Structure 1
Amino acid sequence: MQTVDVVVVGAGPTGENVAGRAVAGGLTALVVEAELVGGECSYWACMPSKALLRPVHALRAARRVAGTREAVTGELDVAAVLARRDSFVSQMDDSGQVAWLDGAGIGLLRGHGRLVGERRVDVTGPDGTVVEVEARVAVVLATGTTAAVPDVPGLRDARPWTSREATSSSRVPGRLVVLGAGVVGLEMAQAWRGLGSEVVVLDRGERLLPRQERFAGELVEQQLLEDGVDVRHGAAVARVERDGDGGPVTVHLEDGSTVTGDELLVAAGRRPATGDLGLEVVGLEPGASVPVDDSLRVTGVDWLYAAGDVDGRALLTHQGKYQARVCGDAVVARSRGEEPAYLAEADEAMVPQVMFTDPEVASVGLTGAQAAERGLRVRTVEHDLGAVAGASLHADGYRGRACMVVDEDRGVVVGATFVGQDVADLLHSATVAVVGEVPLRRLRHAVPSYPTMSEVWLRLLEDYGL
């Protein structure tokens, strides 16, 4: 048996940060990891997906400016793009991440961790050896999520891609069918289309990005269609079949039509990686999200915490790292007989997120519709980003839109959305405004630099009437 103060199951960005926070607070910590230290984001999600998208977007950006478009005489070097992607995932070698753990004074135990009792975790190593670990203070679950594969006849037998295969493939499929039109589906559709695939996106809904402001889905779809991506709405899948071993995949839709591709990417959301964590030991349901309070402590279990995607609150890497800071500090505080100094308030209505398609979709807080559903008296103001000097300099014929959602009773911004090329860096100013509940009468004195795209803030305030 090994004994430490804090045992963290899962060594992704969330788990690493929980452990780091605990050690910084004077506790000892051990992380348990069955795969690569660094987790999903580092090797199969955030980093490789953006590495695939960046060359596609950079080439397009050059072609949108007179003078540089004439200098672009070739196409993407696909082999170089894939090699650059591989460099960002360190060739699937986690030794650099392991060195960081070691330097931070965090222990590592490789294997599958499972709760077996109060503050006790069994870790089954790659060779089948079981090590029992006991936490003097707390156990933290940070195992994240895995790709959800719908229960469609023939789908699993067809060996579809999930996000992991889509971000790590060493070859460009001639034809790619994408089942699902969320962030993963649309980002990967655009990436592989830019690298040469023929792409069909099957969207079960009637419009893209229904949880965003309506113009977001409209502008993204317009660009996808111009890229040559075939977007089909109301596409309900009846069954799937693959021809032989590695042959074409045919998707049969409920309307009787079919779509055939060389690969099928299932981008139908994520599910908590809790199926074999031993949750039944503490009376929780295996396979479900782990319920927590705002300090990330598991409901009804004073020694158990859950942070990141595994708790289902906000499935984003940066929110997981935010939760990790809250969680780690809460564990340290309670080990001293104190209560946490702050809680995870941002998970409720202040979550920033970026979809790295072209155009990018960057949003924080509530949409106008969401705010109204919460009973707020709101006003939504929109402005054409292409009419802002900084954007028109950024790209010829710049196409984009921005909006802010104002709580009329308090006079503060409760949501903002920006859609357009390279708008992601506009988002943090909006996040500060939303989180800080900055009154509009003060925002008018936050003078944007000219000529930058940030000038859209001035235009939004003017359109509001200030």
Structure 2
Amino acid sequence: MSDYDVIVIGGGPVGENAAARTAAAGLRTVLVEAERVGGECSYWACMPSKALLRPGHALAAARRVPGVPVGDRIDPVAVFARRDGFTSGWDDAGQVEWATGAGIEVVRGRARLVGERRVSVDGRELAATRAVVVCTGSVPRTPPVPGLADVPSWTSRDATSAHEVPPALVVLGGGVVGVELAQAWARLGSDVTLVVSGDRPLPRFEPFAGDAVVAGLRADGITVETGARAVSASTVDGGVALGLADGRVVSGSHLLVATGRQPATFDLGVEAFGFTPGQALPVDDLGRVSGVDWLYAAGDVTGRAPLTHQGKYAARAVGTAIVAGTTSAPPWSAAVATADHTAVPQVVFTDPEVAFVGRTAAQAREAGLDVRVVEIDIAVAGSSLHADGYTGRAAMVVDERTRTLVGVTFVGPDVAELLHAATIAIVGEVPVDRLWHAVPAYPTISEVWLRLLEAYGL
């Protein structure tokens, strides 16, 4: 048996952050990873997907500014080479070197909880004096569509690591992964069809966000089928066909299934502690797993806020709590992940971009808040200079009892950089009367803040 102070299971960005915190405090820390240190985000999700999206966005942006010489197509080979650079060719040697330099021991293998503070890694047993932290992330969820398990299909991993453009790609799923990868591959030259079961994609965002993204996808030549529930899947003519509930059939050379993810708690031994494999581990704001005082978890595996940046934030809280040995902390302590509840920022990197933080209007009303919504077009000097024909929209959700923002959404080209100001306003509970005195620079797209507050009545 090998003894440590802290065992971290899962070497993605979340696990790395938790391990870095405890190791920096002098605790003997081991990071257990079954695949690549750096995890999903580094090799198959955040980084490679954005690398595939960026060239198409840059070309589209250049076309919106007269006088900029641009070509009429993207070179997929060059795009793939740049993408491969960001993934280090799927080699994690650099990440392992970082971990070792940070005082973290890396153990390769699949971990399983086998007792109190004890973890088995392919037959080798590790013991922790303080805590075990589960940061195993999530895995794709496959819908129960008849025939789907029997046809060749891509997961998001395949879609972000491919080296050839599929002639015709069918994307099943209207969430963030579905819309981003549909646009990335369309701009790389694939004939793309997006199949969305609801009225619009991105159902968890404000409705105008999904509508704007549909318009952007269709402008790129993507066929967007809404209200399209898949009821069958089959192979046809060397490709894949999806049968829809209304009798229509969509087909392509490749099929990407992007219908959500679920916590990666399979084969982890959680059932011995009263939890169900495949379901989230319930945690408090310190990251402690319910009913098991030595077990912590952070990131997608908790089901709280399945985004890389939120997982890293929660991991830093977990590491801080373990180092301090705390069982409670004030709401704004570094040892708690309170932002998970009300101030989660998210960007959808389509064209137009969607940037959102906090609650939608519907979510705020469900929470019992006295809601007022201000929604306007993004039409300021900065947006006009940014691109000819700039089209965007902004909305803020105000809790009238406190006169503070509880939700903000921006939709339009390059609005992601507006998001952190909104996040600060929500986390800081800045009253709109005081926000009025945060003067936006002219001429920038940030002037939309002035227009929102004017529309509110200031």
Instruction: Indicate whether 1:217 and 2:210 are aligned.
Output: yes
Q: Give aligned-pair identity as a percent.
A: 61
What secondary structure, in the 3-state scheme, does the structure 2 residue paired with 1:301 have? coil
Is the 8 Å Cα contact of residues 176 and 264 (structure 1) preserved in structure 2? yes
* Structure 2: distance between partners of 1:64 and 1:74: 13
Is the 8 Å Cα contact of residues 444 and 458 (structure 1) preserved in structure 2? yes
CA deviation map 1:232-251 (0-9, x unaligned): 1111111111248xx21111
Instruction: Tell me the residue number matched to 2:171.
Output: 178
Instruction: Indicate whether 1:121 and 2:119 are aligned.
Output: yes
What secondary structure, in the 3-state scheme, does the structure 2 residue paired with 1:76 have? coil
| Residue correspondence of structure 1 range 13-24 to structure 2 within 5 A | 13-24=13-24
Higher mean alpha-carbon deviation, 272-281 vs 308-317, is at 272-281
Instruction: Indicate whether 1:97 and 2:98 are aligned.
Output: no
What secondary structure, in the 3-state scheme, does the structure 1 residue paired with 2:279 have? coil
Unaligned 5+ runs, structure 2: none
Is the 8 Å Cα contact of residues 248 and 260 (structure 1) preserved in structure 2? yes
Instruction: Tell me the residue number matched to 2:308.
Output: 317
Instruction: Tell me the residue number matched to 1:447.
Output: 439
Is the 8 Å Cα contact of residues 333 and 339 (structure 1) preserved in structure 2? no
Higher mean alpha-carbon deviation, 95-104 vs 232-241, is at 232-241
Instruction: Tell me the residue number matched to 2:251.
Output: 260
The Cα of 1:179 is off from its aligned counterpart by: 0.4
The Cα of 1:275 is off from its aligned counterpart by: 1.0
2:456 aligned to which of 433, 446, 464 = 464
Is the 8 Å Cα contact of residues 11 and 38 (structure 2) preserved in structure 1? yes
2:387 aligned to which of 395, 399, 409 = 395
The Cα of 1:32 is off from its aligned counterpart by: 0.4
* Structure 2: distance between partners of 1:66 and 1:431: 34
The Cα of 1:367 is off from its aligned counterpart by: 1.0
Instruction: Tell me the residue number matched to 2:266.
Output: 275
| Residue correspondence of structure 1 range 230-241 to structure 2 within 5 A | 230-241=223-234
* Structure 2: distance between partners of 1:60 and 1:338: 51
Is the 8 Å Cα contact of residues 390 and 455 (structure 1) preserved in structure 2? yes
Is the 8 Å Cα contact of residues 18 and 315 (structure 2) preserved in structure 1? yes
* Structure 2: distance between partners of 1:203 and 1:277: 33
What secondary structure, in the 3-state scheme, does the structure 1 residue paired with 2:71 have? coil
Distance change in 2, residues 1:73/1:23 (3 Å):
closer
**Given residue 153 of structure 1, which amino acid in structure 2 is its aligned partner?**
P
Q: TM-score, normalised by structure 1?
A: 0.96
**Given residue 289 of structure 2, which amino acid in structure 1 is its aligned partner?**
V
Higher mean alpha-carbon deviation, 322-331 vs 209-218, is at 209-218
Is the 8 Å Cα contact of residues 25 and 329 (structure 1) preserved in structure 2? no
The Cα of 1:78 is off from its aligned counterpart by: 1.1
Instruction: Tell me the residue number matched to 1:377.
Output: 370
The Cα of 1:25 is off from its aligned counterpart by: 2.1
**Given residue 438 of structure 1, which amino acid in structure 2 is its aligned partner?**
V
* Structure 2: distance between partners of 1:305 and 1:338: 12
**Given residue 356 of structure 2, which amino acid in structure 1 is its aligned partner?**
S
**Given residue 155 of structure 2, which amino acid in structure 1 is its aligned partner?**
T
What secondary structure, in the 3-state scheme, does the structure 2 residue paired with 1:376 have? coil
Instruction: Indicate whether 1:292 and 2:262 are aligned.
Output: no
The Cα of 1:29 is off from its aligned counterpart by: 0.5
* Structure 2: distance between partners of 1:74 and 1:230: 21
* Structure 1: distance between partners of 2:51 and 2:118: 39
* Structure 1: distance between partners of 2:183 and 2:208: 19
* Structure 2: distance between partners of 1:322 and 1:390: 32
Is the 8 Å Cα contact of residues 276 and 287 (structure 1) preserved in structure 2? no
The Cα of 1:210 is off from its aligned counterpart by: 2.2
Instruction: Indicate whether 1:327 and 2:325 are aligned.
Output: no
Distance change in 2, residues 1:357/1:285 (3 Å):
same
Higher mean alpha-carbon deviation, 19-28 vs 323-332, is at 19-28
* Structure 2: distance between partners of 1:159 and 1:31: 34
Distance change in 2, residues 1:207/1:319 (3 Å):
same
Instruction: Tell me the residue number matched to 2:132.
Output: 139
The Cα of 1:456 is off from its aligned counterpart by: 0.6
* Structure 2: distance between partners of 1:242 and 1:379: 50
Equivalences, count: 454
What secondary structure, in the 3-state scheme, does the structure 2 residue paired with 1:256 have? coil
CA deviation map 1:405-464 (0-9, x unaligned): 111110101110000000000000000000000011111110111101111111111111
Instruction: Tell me the residue number matched to 1:127.
Output: none
1:412 aligned to which of 387, 392, 404 = 404
The Cα of 1:338 is off from its aligned counterpart by: 6.7
2:421 aligned to which of 398, 411, 429 = 429
Higher mean alpha-carbon deviation, 72-81 vs 292-301, is at 72-81
Higher mean alpha-carbon deviation, 34-43 vs 272-281, is at 272-281
List structure 1 segments (4+ residues) > 2 angstroms apart after TM superposition.
337-342
* Structure 2: distance between partners of 1:389 and 1:50: 28
Q: What's the RMSD between the two structures over aligned residues?
A: 1.1
**Given residue 174 of structure 1, which amino acid in structure 2 is its aligned partner?**
P
